[in-house]
């Protein structure tokens, strides 16, 4: 049979393969009907093309799974990561702390809160079980009370699995048959044999330096296997002691729900605690549940494994800190690091790590200490002092005026406004709210304009807000806010707070670089309406005599009714009236010796708003700053709709 | 529709196809080759007996008459069958010019007598195929 002189073998699609086969057959004359769908030849070609397509797909998948970059199956990625010395992080249980005050009958010398004492907590109507992972001794105090503070409980359930070693079974594996096991909670005890009850506890060799493990060390190693389960392996006589025939392995581990149990803060015991019923003790929450995280995702593992290999378990560069912390703590949503030489003020010898946890704004003090002690101190250069800083949230406020054509608008104005609001929020949620993510002005305005074809144009301005969270009310403290861009003099103001004299005060700038606290009368500044006209002038200003005026719109040609606008300014301990300073060129605001007694709105923060000189500029966050917006703030997204029919 | 590697004119090509029964030739022992009108007849039967979604990657090819055979024996069902057969042949058998399709219900035998008359292109003589369609359980 004469054959076509060109055989195309690179196509993978069914139709292309079939077409190639037809071309191949066109060079012969014995079977001519391959062109017609009803012919037997066509059916035969379908089968051949289908088979070739099937094999091509299989070969393609096989090729993809051979490399970490292109692998899509978790088992493949885990296997590749294993070669780089990286094991995926397992699920981690949320951890809370409880305080107990016991009142037992009699005067026992001590009480014991047993391991695996169970508690329940509810989140959104769903119950989660918490347990103690170790027993706690509660001694009788000198005054006869029994108090246990900070008793740690973890979300989950303790499970056990037992294996008997059979050295003749070459296929024997020691598998933890649960996908949601916390590998940190695994405890392995090995009994010599059924007749010899000598029990030895094995340690996790995966957490040790492999070069330090001797041939007699009782260690086990953990590796993730198929279906997100874990397999334990033991020493081979060179690295770690080997198992013997008849050994009985007792494995204990916690199975947890992960991050979903974070924020649980009310706990009740399901049975007795230290042998006492609820009427004999008082339990309070010392720290709400925190630190729970889900199993490391395949994407995260693909991203981190090469970086961890590059870091070699040593934190030297900024990326090393990021890679190591992201690997160890899967409850981190965003992280950035910077050296002390970039800090303000400069602090040589330090490295600052800013972390935003998942589902929360900041880590608890205990969590931060644990990160420093258990992770960073194990890996970083000895002369460098690590410090974890909380993220500083830089709130953006948007004011948009949208001109639209009501005749081409297929919905009503309210719906269009809602859609524009959704467009803005979608853009913000996808493009900011993490460290080092800039706000870019033009993509936002493009998204607003693209919301509907009825929108003719829009004009958006951006204002800045930051928040002061007084740690303790009535205690003097200093605060720094960086707005990172030039701001207009006379446009800085804060929300209201109560001073030590019981009056309501507000922070404003005086247009010449000072921050002052001004007293409010009857809830508004000097009983005048606070007019905000940032486009044409100042909200507050200092006149030629040095007097601060505020509460009404002023500009250079409109000095009206000045005398009624005189304000009381808070007198500081040193006799001055300055609460701080503001640099209008850099946007840096420093507030010193500030001691509000309470906050008028009842919130935990004082919000400070500044108006930038350029309201249409991109904004880059600085160091630990995260650009964000407050969906609950009515000033966060303000949309003015203007109908244009012409 | 099929993309033809050669024009349909019989001056250029003849029709020859595999016999999917794969019976060997009694003398040579080779696979039997169906030629010209016989090849077309076999193609017509294949198309009618193919259900939609049966061919890989080409769910549109087929007549779907199997489902219709389980409907009640009635003149309307015969019309539906006739329409299905006409559609699949018009779409996927470019070598014929349909003359007529007759579908007659046979309620005693729970099936239909089908007669298809067509004229192969470039061969000016009518060809008739007859077969009986009945459902298989």
Q: Quick: pLDDT tens for A234-273.
A: 999 899 999 999 999 999 999 999 989 988 989 999 989 9
A458-501: per-residue pLDDT in tens? 998 888 899 988 888 888 888 989 888 888 887 888 888 888 88
Which residues on neighbouring strands pair with residue B105, listed in sequence order? B112
Q: Do B93 and A38 touch (CB under 8 A)?
A: yes
A21-74: per-residue pLDDT in tens? 888 888 777 888 888 888 888 999 999 999 999 999 999 999 999 999 999 999
CATH class as words, domain A158-255: mainly beta
SS3 category, A371: helix
Q: Do A46 and B2 touch (CB under 8 A)?
A: no
B123-137: per-residue pLDDT in tens? 788 999 999 998 876
Is residue B67's pLDDT more than 90? no
Q: Do B94 and A36 touch (CB under 8 A)?
A: yes
Q: What is the DSSP letter of B31?
A: B
Q: Do A36 and B14 touch (CB under 8 A)?
A: no
Backbone φ and ψ for A369, nearest 5 degrees, come out as -65, -40
Determine the pLDDT at residue A526.
Answer: 40
The answer to whether A591 touches A497, Cβ cutoff 8 Å, is no
What is the C-alpha separation between A644 and B126, in angstroms, rounded? 71
Q: Do B18 and A14 touch (CB under 8 A)?
A: no
pTM: 0.60
Question: With bands split at pLDDT 50, 70 and 90, how would you rate the model's confidence at A550?
Answer: low
Instruction: For residue B18, give both structure tokens.
Output: 């595999």
Determine the pLDDT at residue A547.
Answer: 67
The DSSP code sequence of A496-539 is -EE-TTS-EEEEEE-SSSEEEEEE-BTTBGGGS-----TTTSBS
Which residues in B lie closer than 8 A to residue A15 (C-beta atoms)? 57
A334-353: per-residue pLDDT in tens? 899 988 888 877 788 888 99
Q: At what angle do helices A413-431 and A441-449 cross, to 10 degrees?
A: 150
Average confidence (pLDDT) over A614-631: 84
Radius of gyration of chain B (CA): 16
What is the C-alpha separation between A516 and A506, in angstroms, rounded? 8
Average confidence (pLDDT) over B83-99: 93
Please tell me if residue A14 touches chain B, with a CB cutoff of 8 Å. Answer: yes
Q: Do B43 and A31 touch (CB under 8 A)?
A: no
Compare CB distances from B56 to A23, A37, A50 and report the shortest one's residue: A50
Compare CB distances from A15 to B4, B6, B57 and report the shortest one's residue: B57
Q: Do B58 and A36 touch (CB under 8 A)?
A: no
* Residue B32, min C-alpha distance to chain A (Å): 11
Q: Which residue of B has its CA nearest to A48?
A: B56
Please tell me if residue A15 touches chain B, with a CB cutoff of 8 Å. Answer: yes
Residues 6 or more apart whose Cβ sits within 8 Å of residue A603:
A495
Q: Sort strands A350-357 and A385-389 into parallel, antiparallel or unpaired.
A: parallel
Please tell me if residue A33 touches chain B, with a CB cutoff of 8 Å. Answer: yes
Is residue A606's pLDDT more than 50? yes
Determine the pLDDT at residue B137.
Answer: 65
* Residue B61, min C-alpha distance to chain A (Å): 8
The answer to whether A431 touches A440, Cβ cutoff 8 Å, is yes
Is residue A374's pLDDT more than 90? no
Percentage, residues of chain A above pLDDT 90: 35
Q: Which DSSP helix (H) or strand (E) runs through B76?
A: helix B75-92
What is the C-alpha separation between A417 and A411, in angstroms, rounded? 10
Q: Which residue of B has its CA nearest to A32?
A: B16
Q: CATH 3.30.300.200 in chain A, residues? A: 313-390
Q: Which residue of B has its CA nearest to A27?
A: B5
Question: With bands split at pLDDT 50, 70 and 90, how would you rate the model's confidence at A559?
Answer: very low
Instruction: For residue A36, give both structure tokens.
Output: 């017609």
Q: What angle do CA A107, A111, A114 make, to 5 degrees?
A: 160
Instruction: For residue B34, give both structure tokens.
Output: 């169906």
CA torsion A301→A305→A306→A312, rounded to 10°? 160
Q: Do A37 and B34 touch (CB under 8 A)?
A: no
Buried b (16+ CB within 10 A) or exposed e, A48-64: ebbebbeebeeeeeeee
Determine the pLDDT at residue A530.
Answer: 42
The answer to whether A596 touches A473, Cβ cutoff 8 Å, is yes
Q: Sort strands A392-404 and A625-628 into parallel, antiparallel or unpaired.
A: parallel
ipTM of this complex: 0.84
Determine the pLDDT at residue A119.
Answer: 95
Please give the C-alpha separations between residue A233 and each of A165, A204, A205, B34, in angstroms, as whole numbers: 12, 10, 10, 66
Architecture of domain A313-390: 2-Layer Sandwich (3.30)
Residues 6 or more apart whose Cβ sits within 8 Å of residue B9:
B122
Please tell me if residue A26 touches chain B, with a CB cutoff of 8 Å. Answer: yes
Provide the number of CB pairs (under 8 Å) joining chain A to chain B.
84
Tell me whether the omega of the peptide bond preceding residue A12 falls within 30 degrees of 0, making it cis: no
Q: Do B6 and A41 touch (CB under 8 A)?
A: no
Q: Which DSSP helix (H) or strand (E) runs through A75?
A: helix A74-83
Determine the pLDDT at residue A53.
Answer: 93
Pick from A348, A323, A347, A357: which is nearest to A337 by CA? A323
Q: Which residue of B has its CA nearest to A34?
A: B17
Is residue A401's pLDDT more than 80? yes
Average confidence (pLDDT) over A505-513: 83
Determine the pLDDT at residue A520.
Answer: 64
Average confidence (pLDDT) over A441-464: 89
What is the C-alpha separation between B107 and B97, in angstroms, rounded? 30
Pick from A299, A295, A97: which is nearest to A182 by CA? A295
Average confidence (pLDDT) over B49-75: 89
Q: Do A37 and B47 touch (CB under 8 A)?
A: yes
Determine the pLDDT at residue A527.
Answer: 39
Mean per-residue pLDDT over chain A, rounded? 85
Is residue B92's pLDDT more than 70? yes
Determine the pLDDT at residue A1.
Answer: 44
Determine the pLDDT at residue A554.
Answer: 38
Q: CATH 2.60.40.740 in chain A, residues? A: 158-255
The answer to whether B19 touches B31, Cβ cutoff 8 Å, is yes
Which residues on neighbouring strands pair with residue A7, listed in sequence order? none
Q: Which DSSP helix (H) or strand (E) runs through A174?
A: strand A174-176
Which residues in B lie closer than 8 A to residue A19 (C-beta atoms)? 3
Is residue A533's pLDDT more than 60? no
Please tell me if residue A43 touches chain B, with a CB cutoff of 8 Å. Answer: yes
Q: Do B94 and A43 touch (CB under 8 A)?
A: no
Question: With bands split at pLDDT 50, 70 and 90, how would you rate the model's confidence at B55?
Answer: confident
Q: Please enumerate residues of B whose Cβ is less than 8 A from a Cβ of A.
A: 2-6, 13-20, 33-34, 39, 42-47, 50, 55-58, 61, 92-95
* Residue A40, min C-alpha distance to chain B (Å): 5
Residue with tokens 């009788």: A140
Q: Do B19 and A40 touch (CB under 8 A)?
A: yes
* Residue B99, min C-alpha distance to chain A (Å): 19
Q: Do B18 and A15 touch (CB under 8 A)?
A: no
Determine the pLDDT at residue A556.
Answer: 38
SS (H, E, C) A162-174: EEECCCCCCCCCE
Compare CB distances from B5 to A14, A26, A49 and report the shortest one's residue: A26
Q: How many CB atoms lie within 10 A of CB A172?
A: 13
Residue of B57, B58, B98 to mutate when probing chain A, most A C-beta within 10 A:
B57
Q: What angle do CA B64, B65, B71 make, to 5 degrees?
A: 115
Q: How many CB atoms lie within 10 A of CB B79?
A: 11
Backbone φ and ψ for A25, nearest 5 degrees, come out as -75, -20
Q: What is the DSSP letter of A226?
A: G
Compare CB distances from A35 to B5, B18, B45 and report the shortest one's residue: B5
Looking from the CA of A551 toward its CB, the CA atoms found within 13 Å total 26
Backbone φ and ψ for A417, nearest 5 degrees, come out as -65, -45
Q: At what angle do helices B75-92 and B36-49 cross, to 10 degrees?
A: 130
Percent composition of chain B: helix, strand, coil (DSSP 3-state, to 5): 25, 25, 45
What is the C-alpha separation between B46 and A645, in angstroms, rounded? 64
Q: What is the DSSP letter of A566?
A: B
Which residues in A lie closer than 8 A to residue B55 (C-beta atoms)? 37, 43, 46
Question: With bands split at pLDDT 50, 70 and 90, how would you rate the model's confidence at A546?
Answer: low
Which residues in A lie closer than 8 A to residue B42 (C-beta atoms)? 38-40
Compare CB distances from B20 to A15, A40, A53 and report the shortest one's residue: A40
Which residues in A lie closer than 8 A to residue B34 (C-beta atoms)? 40
Residues 6 or more apart whose Cβ sits within 8 Å of residue A319:
A307, A310, A311
Which range in A183-197, A575-589, A593-607, B17-31 is most confidently predicted, on average pLDDT?
A183-197
């Amino acid at each position: 049979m004469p054959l076509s002189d060109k055989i195309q073998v690179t196509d993978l699609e069914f139709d292309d393969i079939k077409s190639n086969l037809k071309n191949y057959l066109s060079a012969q004359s014995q079977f001519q009907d391959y062109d017609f769908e009803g012919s037997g030849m066509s059916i035969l070609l379908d089968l051949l093309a289908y088979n070739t397509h099937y094999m091509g797909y299989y070969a393609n998948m096989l090729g993809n799974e051979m490399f970490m970059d292109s692998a899509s199956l978790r088992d493949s990625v885990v296997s590749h990561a294993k070669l780089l010395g990286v094991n995926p992080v397992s699920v981690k249980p949320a951890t809370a702390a409880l305080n107990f005050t016991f009142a037992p009958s009699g005067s026992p010398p001590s009480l014991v809160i047993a391991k695996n004492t169970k508690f329940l907590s509810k989140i959104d109507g769903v119950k989660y079980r918490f347990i103690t992972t170790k027993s706690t001794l509660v001694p009788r105090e000198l005054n006869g009370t029994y108090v246990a503070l900070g008793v740690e409980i973890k979300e989950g359930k303790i499970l056990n699995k037992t294996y008997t070693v059979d050295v003749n079974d070459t296929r024997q594996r020691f598998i933890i048959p649960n996908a949601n096991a916390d590998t940190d909670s695994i405890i392995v005890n090995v009994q010599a044999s059924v007749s010899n009850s000598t029990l030895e506890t094995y340690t996790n060799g995966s957490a040790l330096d492999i070069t330090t493990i001797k041939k007699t060390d009782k260690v086990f190693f953990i590796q993730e296997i198929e279906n997100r389960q874990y397999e334990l392996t033991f020493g081979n006589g060179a690295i770690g002691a080997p198992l013997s025939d008849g050994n009985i392995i007792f494995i204990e581990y916690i199975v947890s729900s992960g991050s979903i149990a974070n924020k649980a803060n009310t706990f009740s015991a399901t049975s007795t605690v230290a042998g006492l019923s609820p009427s004999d003790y008082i339990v309070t929450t010392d720290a709400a549940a925190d630190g729970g995280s889900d199993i490391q995702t395949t994407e995260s593992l693909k991203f981190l494994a090469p970086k961890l290999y590059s870091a070699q378990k040593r934190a030297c560069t900024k990326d090393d800190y990021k890679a190591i912390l992201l690997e160890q703590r899967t409850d981190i949503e965003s992280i950035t690091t910077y050296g002390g030489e970039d800090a303000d003020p400069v602090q040589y010898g330090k490295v600052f790590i800013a972390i935003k946890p998942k589902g929360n704004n900041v880590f608890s003090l205990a969590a931060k200490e644990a990160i420093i002690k258990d992770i960073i101190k194990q890996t970083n250069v000895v002369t460098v002092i690590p410090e974890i800083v909380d993220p500083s949230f830089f709130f953006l406020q948007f004011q948009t005026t949208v001109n639209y054509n009501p005749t081409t608008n297929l919905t009503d104005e309210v719906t269009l406004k809602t859609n524009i609001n959704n467009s803005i929020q979608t853009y913000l949620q996808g493009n900011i709210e993490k460290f080092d993510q800039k706000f870019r002005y033009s993509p936002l305005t493009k998204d607003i304009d693209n919301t509907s074809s009825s929108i003719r144009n829009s004009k958006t301005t951006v204002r800045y807000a930051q928040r002061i969270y007084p740690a303790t009310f009535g205690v003097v403290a200093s605060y720094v806010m960086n707005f990172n861009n030039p701001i207009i003099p006379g446009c800085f103001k804060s929300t209201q707070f109560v001073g030590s004299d019981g009056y309501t005060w507000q922070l404003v700038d005086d247009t010449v670089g000072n921050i002052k606290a001004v007293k409010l009368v009857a809830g508004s500044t000097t009983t005048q309406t606070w007019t905000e006209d940032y486009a044409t002038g100042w909200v507050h200003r200092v006149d030629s005599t040095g007097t601060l005026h505020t509460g009404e719109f002023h500009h250079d040609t409109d000095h009206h009714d000045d005398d009624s606008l005189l304000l009381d300014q808070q007198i500081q301990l040193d006799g001055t009236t300055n609460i701080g300073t503001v640099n209008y060129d850099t946007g840096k605001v420093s507030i010193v010796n500030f001691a509000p007694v309470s906050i008028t709105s009842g919130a935990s923060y004082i919000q400070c708003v500044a108006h930038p000189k350029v309201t249409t500029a991109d904004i880059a966050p600085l160091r630990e700053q995260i650009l964000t917006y407050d969906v609950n703030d009515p000033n966060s997204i303000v949309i003015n709709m203007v109908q244009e029919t012409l | 529709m099929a993309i033809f590697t050669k024009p349909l004119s019989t001056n250029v090509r003849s029709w020859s196809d595999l016999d999917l029964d794969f019976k060997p030739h009694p003398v040579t022992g080779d696979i039997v080759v169906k030629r010209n009108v016989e090849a077309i007849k076999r193609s017509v039967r294949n198309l009618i007996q193919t259900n939609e979604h049966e061919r890989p990657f080409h769910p549109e090819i087929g007549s779907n008459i199997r489902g219709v055979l389980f409907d009640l024996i009635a003149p309307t069902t015969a019309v539906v069958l006739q329409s299905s057969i006409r559609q699949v042949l018009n779409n996927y058998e470019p070598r014929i010019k349909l003359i007529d399709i007759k579908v007659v219900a046979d309620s005693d035998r729970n099936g239909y007598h089908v007669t298809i008359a067509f004229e192969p292109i470039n061969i000016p003589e009518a060809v008739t195929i007859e077969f009986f369609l009945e459902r298989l359980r």
